[in-house]
Amino acid sequence: MSSSLLLQFMYICSLAENELAGAIISELALVDTAGKFTAVRTMTNKEKDADMEFIFEIDDIY
């Protein structure tokens, strides 16, 4: 009988109200400690207003 191990991680990136105000955001990347991209997510353009906080979440399941 074999068993499998399921690993689940959640990565969260938040942008405060004053960060990147007026910027158009269309990609989100997860970068490892060596500076290499481990995941990239593309999305519809989102304009960052100065009075809005953005929170992005990436669920990673192995």
Give the C-alpha separation, 62 to 10, whole Å.
Answer: 12
pLDDT value, residue 38: 86
pTM of the model: 0.68
pLDDT of the chain, 62 residues: tens digit per residue: 667 788 898 989 899 999 999 999 999 988 889 999 988 889 999 999 999 999 998 888 87
Look at residues 47, 54, 48, 61 and name the one whose alpha carbon lies nearest to residue 13.
54
pLDDT value, residue 4: 79
